[in-house]
Amino acid sequence: MRPRIIIALLLVLAIGAAAAAALGYYWLTAPPTFANPRDVTIEKGESFRSVARKLEASGVVRSAIAMTLYGQFTGAGRRIKPGEYEFKGGELIPEVMHHLTAGDFMVVTVVIPEGLTIHQIAERLETAGLVCQGDFEDAARGGAVVRALGLMPLGAEGYLFPATYHFAPHASVDDVLTAMLARFFHVLTPQVETRMFDLELTTRQMVTMASIVEKEAKVPGERPLIAGVFYNRLRLGMPLQSDPTAEYSLDGTVDKAAEAVRTPSAFNTYEIAGLPPGPIANPGLNSIDAALYPERSDFLYFVARKDGTHTFSKSFNEHKRAVVASNKARQPARKRPLAADHAD
């Protein structure tokens, strides 16, 4: 082979090696950055190659190949721990690998549905292994965070925003409580505050109305109409007569409506006029919107149908007929007797 060709080949190999080295250096020393945290779930028994591809797809690392090679070269790829991880960006491949092998970026996911009380939320958090139920309830009803936000004397009921949350396994009670309260106050935009001013409502009154709508409405589209009925009754000085308010108690116990409506309580709107002193649950965004933008109508009554929708009425006589029809529809159909039943 001619010397020139050999020199050319060596030069090409040198350039390729330099390029590969430069690319590898870039992958290892140029960490990706992103505005919002990225979640990556690693399943038990999942191959490291699959994990590397997930990390690349999520933008946590720039190259699955570089991640795989690093894991194989160091042996760390055989020591990763399954679980759900949250990455905030700006980390090199060795740092990402450290989190996977140490398990220190694992997160606990908790789903808080709309309409739960503090007591029910505390139960979910304890089931997830995050906090002690009693500790969370105490903090939510009168802890330092609640006092600092001026939510006393009734506490944070109504202000714990329903959402999917991701917490570190060792998050404190105040960490969890603060995250939920922060989501609520993020919703409380200047536009919302202006709307509350127009309706002459305090934040607590608005959230109280939203919580009642949340507990009464089974069909999302009916929320604004139900809110409108309650506002109509308030305007006329009529009791709200909402079963969920009668069933609510601060200690988290819930009575059946049949007994609760006859039990005196500060929250029982069969016994008191106007709104109860505070929320009876933690409403979601749709119920908050309904409380802020109720649908206008002349309806003063509603009764639930079997399918969860409601029949709305303008007069008490019309309402009584709707109640009779609803009760009749709920009764099980009588089974027709067989011919043998008439033998005698």
Local mean pLDDT, 10-residue blocks, the chain (344 residues): 54 48 52 83 90 93 92 91 86 90 82 96 94 96 95 94 89 95 94 96 97 94 96 95 89 58 81 93 97 95 89 89 83 52 35
Would you say 117 and 252 are in contact if contact means Cβ atoms under 8 Å apart?
yes
Would you say 275 and 239 are in contact if contact means Cβ atoms under 8 Å apart?
no
Query: How many other CB atoms are found less than 10 A from the CB of residue 56?
Result: 18
Domains identified in the chain and CATH numbers: 29-102 (3.30.1490.480), 108-187 (3.30.1490), 190-297 (no CATH)
Tell me what pLDDT residue 14 has.
Answer: 46
Q: How far is the C-alpha of 221 from the C-alpha of 225, rounded, in Å?
A: 8
pTM of the entire predicted model: 0.70
Residue among 39, 37, 54 nearest 88 (CA): 37
